[in-house]
Amino acid sequence: MQAQPLPSSRTETACDAAKPAILLVDDEPTTRMMTARKLRRAGYEVDVAENGKEALDRLRQRLFPILLTDWEMPAMDGLELCRAVRAARFDSYVYIILLTARNSKANVIEGLEAGADEYISKPVNDHELAARLQTAQRILRLEQSLRAANQRNLLLSITDALTGAHNRHYLMSQLPKELGRTHRYARPLSAVLCDIDRFKTINDRYGHQVGDDALVQFAALLQRSIRSEVDWVVRYGGEEFLVVLPETDFGAALAFAERVRNALEAQGVETTGGSVSMTASFGVTSYSGASDQAKLSVDTLIAAADACLYRAKRAGRNRIIGKSFDEGASTVILERPADRHFGDALHDETAAAKVESIPAPVTGNETEPVDWPGLLESLDGDEGFARELAQTYIDSVDSLLADLAAAVDRGDYDTVRSKAHALKGASAEIGACRAADAAAKLETAALAGEPDGLGTLAAKLTRDVGAAADYLRSKTSSEL
């Protein structure tokens, strides 16, 4: 019986504190409980599911970086779950470890082709599982590093290197989407084109380093003035910036431009050469969705803002000129406004090859149906968990035995083998050595397709499991 916490496959380090969460999927409750306990004691956060369908639902609610799943389960087996996970779109990679007694080469290939990353034969060796989980963590860290690098590269491709604002590439990819939403839902969209007044004079008087500082500080002022994750700022060229304001009507866009204009005039910007006074001019364009939107394009929207900006420059700078696309709207000029509000069949290898994977019978206390002292010792004396585990075994074996008897009657060797395998694992975990031995013998006979004696072996297994369940009932009640 293996009930100790998973061994460490290497020296623990500080990075082990952030172990990934594991979703454990197994329809056999006793095996599920014991495996979950080992994983938790090894420092993993563990959630459990009884079948593939339930596991897939859990994954859709919350991402688990590691999926540890049995092969044979009702509703959706391990292979179906692997395929479903690989077909789904999650925020990051899910590393799948498939657990099964099917360990022929063809089975391994089938599991890997279904989408599993690792394949561990049952009964699971604790050292092997610990090592496989370490491998999973290494792969996940590499995947996260690659994802972060890709994200950084994407950010660099759409970001102006000097100011941190978006660049023209981002503008031409995103503004059509904003216009598309406006076309579909008839919601307002505004654009504000800003240009620092007499920027060449700043460069000539203070030098290009101070000029760069001024650009950075002006971009920062714009960023502070917009709504986070709604509006966005683009360095349109040189000292020009375009601010895109979704869900913003003409009056609100004029109010935004005036706040920025007033703040810049009042405060100037701080640079490496000291405080520099400067102003900016603004061209504002907008439409509410009431006009003929089919004619509006990205080029038309930007050209209108640029025309307004040009007029503001010609009119004396440090002012705002705006024009709405709404039918009948007038041009607005603001110079110094002070107040504006704005699973499946076995393959055809020989039975002998399959039988080779069956472990030797579990040995233990032969005087009682269950090695209760050994179970408590393996659980570090945790009697509460031992009683919970015992009750789980008691609750689960009746249905397993009923399914087993029906399968024997109809000569369904696959189901006999599957149920015997589940009973073997559950009995071994609880310390029911005789029951585990009987289950192993029945599993071997079913794998070999031997009809003779199958009923006798099943009857012995039923007696031994029943005796173990009765013993656990009396033992747990006496311990209460």
Mapped to the 3 state alphabet, what secondary structure does the chain carry? CCCCCCCCCCCCCHHHHHCCCEEEECCCHHHHHHHHHHHHHCCCCEEEECCHHHHHHHHHHCCCCEEEEECCCCCCCHHHHHHHHHHCCCCCCCEEEEEECCCCHHHHHHHHHHCCCEEEECCCCHHHHHHHHHHHHHHHHHHHHHHHHHHHHHHHHCECCCCCCECHHHHHHHHHHHHHHHHHHCCCEEEEEEEECCHHHHHHHHCHHHHHHHHHHHHHHHHHHCCCCCCEEEEEECCEEEEEEECCCHHHHHHHHHHHHHHHHHHCEEECCEEECCCEEEEEEEECCCCCHHHCCHHHHHHHHHHHHHHHHHCCCCCEEEEECCCCCCCEEECCCCCCCCCCCCCCCCHHHHHCCCCCCCCCCCCCCCCHHHHHHHCCCCHHHHHHHHHHHHHHHHHHHHHHHHHHHHCCHHHHHHHHHHHHHHHHHHCCHHHHHHHHHHHHHHHHCCCCCHHHHHHHHHHHHHHHHHHHHHHHHHHC
Q: What is the pLDDT of residue 343?
A: 31
Q: What is the pLDDT of residue 276?
A: 92
Domains in the chain: ranges and CATH: 14-155 (3.40.50.2300), 158-334 (3.30.70.270), 351-479 (1.20.120.160)
Q: Which pLDDT tens digits describe the chain residue by residue (480 residues)? A: 445 556 654 433 333 447 899 999 999 999 899 999 999 988 999 999 999 999 999 999 999 999 999 998 988 999 999 999 999 988 889 999 999 888 788 888 999 999 999 999 888 888 889 999 999 999 999 988 888 887 787 777 889 999 999 999 999 999 999 988 888 888 899 999 999 998 988 988 899 999 999 999 999 999 999 998 899 999 998 999 999 999 999 999 999 999 999 999 999 999 998 999 999 999 999 987 665 545 678 888 998 899 899 889 888 899 999 988 876 666 666 654 443 433 333 333 333 333 333 344 444 445 789 988 888 877 778 888 888 889 999 999 999 999 999 999 888 888 888 888 889 888 888 888 899 889 888 988 887 777 778 889 999 999 999 999 999 998 877 654
Residues annotated as catalytic (active site), given as ranges: 239
The predicted model scores a pTM of 0.56
